[in-house]
């Protein structure tokens, strides 16, 4: 059995009875046992429960019962999604022993669609940072080159698909945390529209930005997993109640008159030469297939990193105030009184990047500074959104690089937070504006590192976004390359 088959190929073989979910799950568990020591993509592997689920789904299928759209497919979950009875650590000492008494909405959805939950993937602590080195437990390595980072914060979810440990995985994206690791690991990763997927049971980082989304080898896999994850949920008031299209059904429909927007500023200073070349080549591919290439302007996008590094830490400082050593999470052994218990517990259990962001957010929200920092950022955020609204009058998707460079080396940026933050320069605006966006493979550097193509679309236009991505993928085949991990 090939560990790197796409979801469509695997589902076909499962449906035709050529393989079983049990056989597939066993082979993937073997592969994880053999290779994940060098990658570190999983924090927990749920071998026993995965095989039980797989056997139950095989029995259902064999009996001719109706099965879900993911029936028998192994799916890995970022360790930030609450799962009943399974440790959900968020990559933090604070939640090292936290075992949720309930399932997140997306976990309920995956179970309802007969997915096999194979394990929980590594991440930067509380999803803060872009390298997956910032986990309290282990770094994750890039399966294409283990001296390099897989990106982050959903680095474990991206790496486990790239390494062929699972055909699908779930991540979260607050400023690029799905798309940047997808680009670094040569897989497809998508952030849906804000409000498309319920965050009930997602451990909160920055609530006006966080979204849950899929990783897969190809656009079809991402579309299939998004069908399973999306939809209304009254437990998340920001989740919008509107029908979920069957994205997989319309993927290959011809896109007549597609207008692809290009922002000249995206190809300026700071962009790696090989990334630049690959993305320009992608523009040619669209032009050759009849798309109209339109130059657009997003005049306020250059402020998006600054806006983000006020809004996200502000929301984080507020969200993480709940970790006080009372209801759940770590409590320090030694303290003098109640307030000292909060202080001691938080100080010993949070890592350096989490502390940095809590401090930054607390400052930006503090008396005398909130108008100057936080409220100014919220106003500029409106300008960033208006730029997109105007741009989408002229185009259907906006195309550019996902990241300024291919995967950086492990340890390369850990001492320079600002340089790390600038990695998200192309991805952050989609979170601020709430847009759906996808990264898909569009080439490799001479040294063999994947390059990501970034496409963004107007809110709730996932269907057109996936079609546009598939249009490129269908003719280029970069997504068929696999790591040499064998």
Q: Which of 68, 74, 73 is nearest to 112 (CA)?
A: 68
The answer to whether 439 is a known catalytic residue is no
345 vs 403, beta carbon nearer other proteins: 345
DSSP letter at 78 equals: E
76 vs 384, beta carbon nearer other proteins: 384
Query: 286 near 472, Cβ under 8 Å?
Result: yes
The nearest distance, CB 233 to other proteins, in angstroms, is: 10
Among 15, 30, 234, 389, the residue binding other proteins under the rule CB under 8 A is 234
Q: For the CA atoms of 283, 284, 289, 293, what is the dihedral angle to 10 degrees?
A: 50
Q: Determine if 194 is a binding residue for other proteins (CB under 8 A).
A: yes
186 vs 351, beta carbon nearer other proteins: 351
> What is the footprint of other proteins within residues 270-309 (CB under 8 A)?
300, 303, 305-307, 309
Q: Determine if 356 is a binding residue for other proteins (CB under 8 A).
A: yes
Among 1, 112, 237, 390, the residue binding other proteins under the rule CB under 8 A is 237
Tokens representing 26 are 């066993």
The nearest distance, CB 426 to other proteins, in angstroms, is: 17
Which of 95-103, 262-270, 445-453, 476-484 is the region at the interface with other proteins (rule: CB under 8 A)? 95-103
> What is the footprint of other proteins within residues 29-88 (CB under 8 A)?
none
> What is the footprint of other proteins within residues 144-173 (CB under 8 A)?
none
Give the binding-site size for other proteins (rule: CB under 8 A).
73
Q: Determine if 363 is a binding residue for other proteins (CB under 8 A).
A: yes
Cα separation of 172 and 438, whole Å? Answer: 13
Which of 257-265, 283-291, 415-423, 442-450 is the region at the interface with other proteins (rule: CB under 8 A)? 415-423
The answer to whether 366 is a known catalytic residue is no
Count Cα atoms within 13 angstroms, Cβ side, for 6: 16
> What is the footprint of other proteins within residues 309-348 (CB under 8 A)?
309-310, 317, 321, 324-331, 335, 337-339, 341-344, 346-347
Distance of CA 333 to the CA centre of its chain: 35
278 vs 380, beta carbon nearer other proteins: 380
DSSP letter at 93 equals: G
Cα separation of 322 and 333, whole Å? Answer: 19
98 vs 444, beta carbon nearer other proteins: 98
Question: Which of 153, 154, 169, 198 is the catalytic position?
Answer: 153
Positive or negative, the CA dihedral 274, 277, 282, 283 is positive
CA angle 80, 130, 396 (to 5 degrees): 90
- The answer, yes or no, to whether the previous bond of 153 is cis (omega within 30 of 0) is yes
Among 151, 176, 261, 434, the residue binding other proteins under the rule CB under 8 A is 434
Question: Which of 78, 154, 317, 439 is the catalytic position?
Answer: 78
Cα separation of 441 and 189, whole Å? Answer: 10
The answer to whether 345 is a known catalytic residue is no
Query: 183 near 403, Cβ under 8 Å?
Result: yes
Burial class (CB in 10 A: 0-12, 13-18, 19+), 172: buried
37 vs 367, beta carbon nearer other proteins: 367
Among 379, 446, 477, 484, the residue binding other proteins under the rule CB under 8 A is 379
57 vs 380, beta carbon nearer other proteins: 380
Burial class (CB in 10 A: 0-12, 13-18, 19+), 345: buried
Active site residues: 78, 153, 177
């Amino acid at each position: 059995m090939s560990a790197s088959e796409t979801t469509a190929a695997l589902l076909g073989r499962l449906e035709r009875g050529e393989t079983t979910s049990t056989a597939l799950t066993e082979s993937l568990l073997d592969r994880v046992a053999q290779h994940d020591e060098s990658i570190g993509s999983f924090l927990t592997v749920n071998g026993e429960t995965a095989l039980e689920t797989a056997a139950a789904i095989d029995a259902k299928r064999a009996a001719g019962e109706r099965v879900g759209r993911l029936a028998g497919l192994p799916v890995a979950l970022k360790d930030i999604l609450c799962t009943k009875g399974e440790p959900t650590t968020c990559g933090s000492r604070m939640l090292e022993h936290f075992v949720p008494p309930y399932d997140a909405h997306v976990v309920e959805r995956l179970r309802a669609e007969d997915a096999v939950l194979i394990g929980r993937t590594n991440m930067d602590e509380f999803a803060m940072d872009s390298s997956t080195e910032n986990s309290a437990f282990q770094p994750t390595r890039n399966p294409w080159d283990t001296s390099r980072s897989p990106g982050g914060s959903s680095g474990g979810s991206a790496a486990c698909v790239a390494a062929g440990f699972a055909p699908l995985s779930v991540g979260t994206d607050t400023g690029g945390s799905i798309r940047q690791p997808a680009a670094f690991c040569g897989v497809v990763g998508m952030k849906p529209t804000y409000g498309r997927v319920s965050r009930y049971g997602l451990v909160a980082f920055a609530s006006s930005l966080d979204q849950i989304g899929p990783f897969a080898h190809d656009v079809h896999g991402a579309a299939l997993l998004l069908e399973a994850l999306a939809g209304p949920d009254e437990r998340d008031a920001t989740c919008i109640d509107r029908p979920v299209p069957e994205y997989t059904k319309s993927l290959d429909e011809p896109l007549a008159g597609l207008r692809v927007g290009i922002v000249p500023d995206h190809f300026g200073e700071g962009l790696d030469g090989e990334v630049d070349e690959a993305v320009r080549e992608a523009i040619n591919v669209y032009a050759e297939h009849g798309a109209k290439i339109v130059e657009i302007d997003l005049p306020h996008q250059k402020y998006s990193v600054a806006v983000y590094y006020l809004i996200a830490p502000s929301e984080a400082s507020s969200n993480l105030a709940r970790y006080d050593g009372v209801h759940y999470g770590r409590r320090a052994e030694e303290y003098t009184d109640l307030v000292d218990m909060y202080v001691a517990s938080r100080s010993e259990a949070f890592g350096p990047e989490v502390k940095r962001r809590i401090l930054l957010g607390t400052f930006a929200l503090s008396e005398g500074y909130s108008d100057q920092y936080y409220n100014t950022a919220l106003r500029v955020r409106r300008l960033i959104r208006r730029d997109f609204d105007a741009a989408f009058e002229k185009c259907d998707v906006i195309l550019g690089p996902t990241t300024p460079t291919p995967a950086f080396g492990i340890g390369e940026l850990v001492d320079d937070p600002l340089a790390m933050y600038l990695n998200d320069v192309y991805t952050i605006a989609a979170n601020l504006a709430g847009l759906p966006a996808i990264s898909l493979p569009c080439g490799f550097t001479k040294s063999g590192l994947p390059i990501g193509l970034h496409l963004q679309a107007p809110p709730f236009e996932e269907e057109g976004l996936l079609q546009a991505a598939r249009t490129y993928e269908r003719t280029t085949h970069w997504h068929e390359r696999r790591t040499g991990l064998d």
